[in-house]
Amino acid sequence: MIEKIYTTNKNGMAVLVGVILGYLISFLIMMTGGLFEPIGGLLFFLAILFVMLGWIPLLGLKVLKPQEALVLTLFGNYKGTIKEPGFYYVNPFCTAVNPAAGTKLAQSGESSAKADSISVAMTGTNVAVSGLSKKISLKAMTLNNGRQKINDCLGNPVEIGIAVIWKVTDTAKAVFNVDNYKEYLSLQCDSALRNIVRIYPYDVATDVDTTGDGRADEGSLRGSAEVVAERIKDEIQSKVTDAGLEIIEARITYLAYAPEIASVMLQRQQASAIIDARKMIVDGAVGMVEMALERLNEKDIVNLDEERKAAMVSNLLVVLCGNHDAQPVVNSGSLY
């Protein structure tokens, strides 16, 4: 379906004023019909006919605000889309079409129902509201699709949520190519999120290829959030182009291990951090001991045999690598 702009002038005010004047004249003729002989009977009939049918042109009055569009059909045929703001008069038999008018998602501008809503029906995570306008918003909107539990490439369950900024660019595709473009977008966001998250580990892991080039890299959900978000955006865009939607931006709003493994993974991270810290302490302590022995030999302060060197190294390592401050023991005798 190709979008086409409905060609009509912004003459809604002229039609409204004309209808009001027509009713005033009709009521005047009906009250004073006898004064217009010999055509008074014909004028009286025309006045009654206008009072009965004069409201039909009012059905063709359409008011559009900035960043709004109206898709019009005439007896089932697509006639065009009105996009410019203004007060329009169109064919009164044209019907506005927007199958997603009653669909409310967790997104900006659509978190609550209108005051003129007739009924509210809960359907899953969406709220279907009847009695709403058939206008299509062309503004950029934010879809918060909620948190999902997905297994990463290592099989660890993680909870992740995204926010997608989107807008309608082709109203004809949005209305006629899919059944409900809002629900379609929500489902595609779920699918794209799962497809991309399964490629990455939660944290940096060895022997994991996240780019598809056959070589291991350091990509991860936690460390490569910008890259992951960009890939999610591209994945969603490839699916919703036929629906006339544009994905402006996608951002990860929540990322954590699933509750059932969160405590275990926290202990694992703590153990890894402790091991790294211990390794650094040991490397530093060995370097300090080596430097102490070299300085003693250079200054020729004291000559130590291999046994005394071993004891000194052992004592220094205990002091430098211990978790608590050393308690010195004063030797009042000789070294030997």
CA-CA-CA-CA torsion sign (119, 122, 125, 128): negative
**65 and 137 in contact (C-beta within 8 Å)?**
no
CA neighbor of 163 nearest in space, from 249, 258, 257: 249
Q: Is the pLDDT of residue 182 over 50?
A: yes
**Element housing 70 (H / E):** strand 68-74
| Closest among 202, 84, 62, 190 to 133, alpha carbons compared | 62
Measured distance CA(271)–CA(186) in Å, rounded = 39
DSSP single-letter state for residue 333: S
43-70 per-residue burial string, b: 16 or more CB within 10 A, e: under 16: bbeebeebeeebeebeebbbebeeebbb
Cα-trace Rg, the chain: 38
> Would you say the C-alpha torsion 87, 93, 96, 102 has a positive or negative sign?
positive
Check whether 304 has a pLDDT greater than 60.
yes
Q: Would you say residue 223 has pLDDT above 90?
A: no
Looking at residue 238, what is its pLDDT? 92
**Total residues found in the chain within this entry:** 336
Q: What is the mean pLDDT of residues 2-24?
A: 85
Tokens found for residue 81:
């889309």
pLDDT digits (tens, 9 = 90+) for 266-290: 766 677 777 777 788 777 878 887 7
Helices (DSSP H) in 60-198: which residue ranges?
A: 171-176, 181-197
Residue-wise pLDDT for 248-263, tens only, equals: 999 998 888 887 766 6
Please give the class, per CATH, of domain 140-257: alpha beta
The tokens for 80 are 């065009």
Cα-Cα-Cα-Cα dihedral of 244, 247, 248, 254, to 10°?
150
- Round to whole Å and give the CA distance between 140 and 145: 16
pTM confidence score:
0.69
What percent of the chain stands above pLDDT 90?
Answer: 21
Question: CA distances (Å), 332 to each of 282, 316, 329, in order?
Answer: 31, 20, 9
Alpha helices in the chain (DSSP H): 12-31, 40-53, 171-176, 181-197, 225-240, 259-299, 306-321
Could you identify the residue written with the tokens 């169109």? 90
Higher pLDDT, 138 or 305: 138
pLDDT range class, residue 76, cuts 50, 70, 90 = confident
Amino acid 167: pLDDT: 93
Higher pLDDT, 223 or 212: 223
